Amino acid sequence: MIDFALHRLKGKDCLTLTDFSSEEIKELVELAAALKQKHQTGEKNNTLQGKVLALLFDKASTRTRVSFAVGMVQLGGHFLELSQKDLQYGRGESLADTARTLSGYVDAIMIRTFDQQMVEELAKYATIPVINGLTDLYHPCQTLADLLTLKEEKGDLSKQKVTYLGDGNNVLHSLMHGAAAVGMHLAISTPSGYEPLPKVWEETEKIAEQTGAKITFHYDPIEAVQEADAVYTDVWASMGQEEEKEKRKLDFKDYQVNEALMKHAKPNAIFMHCLPAYRGLEVSAGIIDGPQSVVFSQAENRLHAQKALLLALLQ
């Protein structure tokens, strides 16, 4: 089941999508689609029997927590769920020592935390794969699920235009990497002061030069959604930014995805959101709960995309 390119991923880390080639990202999406089809037919897969995944959570989680745990069980493996209060690194033990210790017990580590540097340090000292389940800078697992969703809904990824509206955050950073890798047109629209990081722009443009992807930026959200096949948004204030919530409401008020804005996209455009969502802020209830919304298919696809990633890194 593992395609040729994915054989090269065994034992690797997934810290950002730049860890993988364009070919590997495309094959991960293809594998996720195949795993989903087999799951829907009830076919069992015990490929990871005897493998154990450590799940480290420093942030609250619904989709990441459940999808990784269920995914590991569906592949025949096991998981341990841990937090800072469960481990000594929450009391001052070094990450290096934690990484070395866990490497002797489990087969991979998934960590969901704030600081990207923490994930990178864990990977530096671990001798097993480390998966970034989310940091303040990147959310690679979400993008793999997004690409699977877009493939299911719209077909050839290289022929799609996706518009992202809102905050230049971790979800957008990984989406930029993923969109560039598969050759799509990603139009980005954020308020002034909330643009994606220059470093991520540079990485994305370098990938796009190789794949023919088109990455554009527009301060005007109406301009950005013209002829879009999909319109994507995220919360205006992420975890850790709650004190900025009122200011962000004002700064982002013109970036709400609502019925009026969606009329500027293609008539059959879909609406995407990584969840959790706040109706009446970044999206109207009529859009997220309406016929154009695919947000719960997108959420389910976290399971299948992460199973593909686990197989590629551990098989």
- Known binder of ligand: residue 115? no
Q: Which of 65, 112, 185, 273 is catalytic?
A: 112
Q: Which of 139, 173, 248, 304 is catalytic?
A: 139
Q: How far apart are CA 309 and CA 174, in angstroms?
A: 15
Nearest to 100 by CA among 112, 88, 91: 88
Q: How far apart are CA 38 and CA 36, in angstroms?
A: 5
Q: Which of 13, 116, 256, 274 is catalytic?
A: 274
Q: Which of 13, 107, 229, 234 is catalytic?
A: 234
- Known binder of ligand: residue 112? yes
Query: Residue 308: CB partners within 8 Å, gap ≥ 6?
Result: 28, 29, 31, 32, 35, 144
Tokens linked to 178: 């993923």
273 in active site: no
- Known binder of ligand: residue 191? no
- Known binder of ligand: residue 239? yes
139 in active site: yes
Q: Which of 65, 185, 302, 304 is catalytic?
A: 302
Nearest to 5 by CA among 29, 23, 31: 23
The DSSP bridge pattern shows strands 161-165 and 230-233 to be parallel
- Known binder of ligand: residue 107? no
156 in active site: no
- Known binder of ligand: residue 98? no
- Known binder of ligand: residue 268? no
The SS3 call for residue 222 is: helix
Q: Which of 142, 256, 298, 306 is catalytic?
A: 142
- Known binder of ligand: residue 14? no
Q: Count CA within 13 A, CB hemisphere, residue 286.
A: 8
- Known binder of ligand: residue 65? no
274 in active site: yes
Q: How far apart are CA 227 and CA 170, in angstroms?
A: 25
Amino acid identity, residue 279? R
Dmax of the chain from CA atoms?
55
- Known binder of ligand: residue 139? yes
304 in active site: no
142 in active site: yes
Q: How far apart are CA 303 and CA 144, in angstroms?
A: 10
- Known binder of ligand: residue 141? yes
- Known binder of ligand: residue 170? yes
- Known binder of ligand: residue 274? yes
The SS3 call for residue 231 is: strand
- Known binder of ligand: residue 185? no
The SS3 call for residue 308 is: helix
Known binding site for carbamoyl phosphate: residues?
A: 61-64, 88, 112, 139-142, 274-275, 302
Residues with a known catalytic role: 112, 139, 142, 234, 274, 302
Known binding site: residues?
A: 61-64, 88, 112, 139-142, 170, 234, 238-239, 274-275, 302
Known binding site for L-ornithine: residues?
A: 170, 234, 238-239
